[in-house]
Amino acid sequence: MPKDTLTITDNRTGKTYELPIENGTIKALDLRQMKASPEDFGLMTYDPAFTNTAACKSRITDIDGEKGILNYRGYPIEQLAERSSYLETAYLILHGELPTQAQFDSWVFNVTHHTIVHENIKELMGAFRYDAHPMGILVSTVAALSTFYPVAKEVRNPRARQDQIFRLIAKMPTLAAFAYRHSVGMPYAYPDNDLSYCGNFLGMMFKMTEVKYKVDPVLEKALEVLFILHADHEQNCSTSAMRAVGSSEVDPYSAIAAATAALYGPLHGGANEMVLRMLEEIGSKDKVPAFVKEVKTSGGEVRLMGFGHRVYKNYDPRARIIKVMADQVFQLTKRNPLLDIALELERIALEDDYFVKRKLYPNVDFYSGLIYQAMGFPVDMFPVLFAIPRTAGWLAQWEEMLEDKDQKIARPRQIYLGKGHRDFVPVSERG
């Protein structure tokens, strides 16, 4: 009769242990009882970068990398991208269920009425150099918001948490757009509560001297879809940062600043920018075969940016949705000339044994930068465009962590390999 247990024999002592298996995992703490001697600390696992360690139980986002499936709260990403809006999806991610009409109206009202930031934030923005990266400005200004809302410290108070969630989802686009306007020396455009979440963001970015910004429905829809696709992606680097920093019970503005900082890195939120630079470097469609050859013979040094994923070993479902949407956006904007190079790269790579054998397919970043560029966003803004929608996911994961009785302040173990005990020597006596 098969049992959901794991039997381990410790060859140091000859002792055998039977550990329960639950949800395909064993508890790392169950290993602690395995000691080589009574003074021994007990066995630990060594797992840098958490490549095979579940750090939490979650009910938010489910990814099946082999099948190329991504669900938020059980709903397939394809259905949400086609039929939902960003704010509805954010509600779903945060609350676990799609809202009723009344719940949705109240949610939209609350988010919409928190979009304005304190005037002092403008002065803070003004302190940055004209060429400051908007992501650096976002990290700093969102952290600064914690000083405006001292009640945010009450992370065990669900009502206080809810207020900060409204504020963070509402104010991230305002901070992002202000950061951009600062970098181009344009006056800040204030939020317009008559517009949708994405329409208002486009307005705050691109409004010139017109009294009322007119949102293009195709661009508005494209941004809704891109925001939905980026709303959560379970335990990645920035979400892990949000959970680890939040586990100290710091306020959510400080934790979101930490998550945004993690996203800033080129290995995480910066990949779509690198895709664009790669396509520009290739320069034309006829140079694609030579580039692919270079990738294959470089011994892993030159990578096809926007290809491959730690989890997806099939097509990234988000890339498929973005590719279809690109056609709609390019009908409106000028067709991005880099698209032809991207399409040719994908065509050649998907037929090539090197990529097929390694299960390397386009990921979410392969086409998203092309759309953002065609919509008029500068490349520096790409990671910022990632941070805005991911705020919903970060906050949902933060709340889940706070309500999870299994969680404590994050505190990994280490294997100490440094020097043993030695006595201090005054500088005058050191050789």
Q: Which two tokens stand for residue 398?
A: 């933060």
Q: Is 313 in the site for ligand ACO (CB under 6 A)?
A: no
Give min distance, CB of 269 to ligand ACO, in A.
Answer: 7
Of 120-128, 179-187, 362-370, 394-402, the window that binds ligand ACO (rule: CB under 6 A) is 362-370
Distance of CA 402 to the CA centre of its chain: 19
Nearer to ligand ACO by Cβ, of 178 and 312: the residue is 312
Measured over all CA atoms, what is the biggest interatomic distance in the chain, rounded to whole angstroms? 80
Of 8-16, 255-263, 331-339, 363-371, the window that binds ligand ACO (rule: CB under 6 A) is 363-371
Of the candidate residues 295, 326, 370, 396, the single one contacting ligand ACO (CB under 6 A):
295
Q: Is 389 in the site for ligand ACO (CB under 6 A)?
A: no
Of 205-213, 358-366, 377-385, 418-426, the window that binds ligand ACO (rule: CB under 6 A) is 358-366
Catalytic residue at 216?
no
Give min distance, CB of 313 to ligand ACO, in A.
Answer: 9
Q: Is 111 in the site for ligand ACO (CB under 6 A)?
A: no
In DSSP notation, 112-172 reads: HTT----HHHHHHHHTS-TT--HHHHHHHHHHHGGGT-GGGG-TT-HHHHHHHHHHHHHHH
Count the site residues for ligand ACO by CB under 6 A.
17
Q: Is 319 in the site for ligand ACO (CB under 6 A)?
A: no
Of 54-62, 67-75, 177-185, 359-367, the window that binds ligand ACO (rule: CB under 6 A) is 359-367
Give min distance, CB of 361 to ligand ACO, in A.
Answer: 10
Query: In the block, which residue shows the tokens 């979101």?
Result: 256
| 234 Cβ neighbours under 8 A, 6+ residues apart | 58, 60, 61, 62, 63
Within residues 257-276, the interface with ligand ACO by CB under 6 A covers 268, 271
| 100 Cβ neighbours under 8 A, 6+ residues apart | none
CA distances 376 to 131, 226, 369, 382, Å, are 18, 15, 11, 11
Q: Is 304 in the site for ligand ACO (CB under 6 A)?
A: yes
CA 160, CA 151: separation in Å to the nearest integer? 7
| 416 Cβ neighbours under 8 A, 6+ residues apart | none
Of 100-108, 126-134, 301-309, 421-429, the window that binds ligand ACO (rule: CB under 6 A) is 301-309
Q: Which two tokens stand for residue 7?
A: 């039997």
Give min distance, CB of 295 to ligand ACO, in A.
Answer: 5
Q: Is 326 in the site for ligand ACO (CB under 6 A)?
A: no
Residue 133: name the closest of 232, 268, 2, 270 by CA. 270
Distance of CA 35 to the CA centre of its chain: 40
CA 181, CA 225: separation in Å to the nearest integer? 24
Q: Is 306 in the site for ligand ACO (CB under 6 A)?
A: yes
Of the candidate residues 35, 250, 308, 340, the single one contacting ligand ACO (CB under 6 A):
308
Q: Which of 268, 340, 380, 404 is catalytic?
A: 268
Q: Is 256 in the site for ligand ACO (CB under 6 A)?
A: no
Residue 400: name the closest of 257, 261, 247, 253 by CA. 247
Q: Is 344 in the site for ligand ACO (CB under 6 A)?
A: no
Catalytic residue at 268?
yes
Q: Are 401 and 200 in contact (CB under 8 A)?
A: no
Give min distance, CB of 179 to ligand ACO, in A.
Answer: 21
Nearer to ligand ACO by Cβ, of 68 and 306: the residue is 306
Catalytic residue at 309?
yes
Which residues are tagged catalytic?
Answer: 268, 309, 365
Binding site for ligand ACO (CB under 6 A): 268, 271, 295, 300, 303-310, 358, 360, 363-365
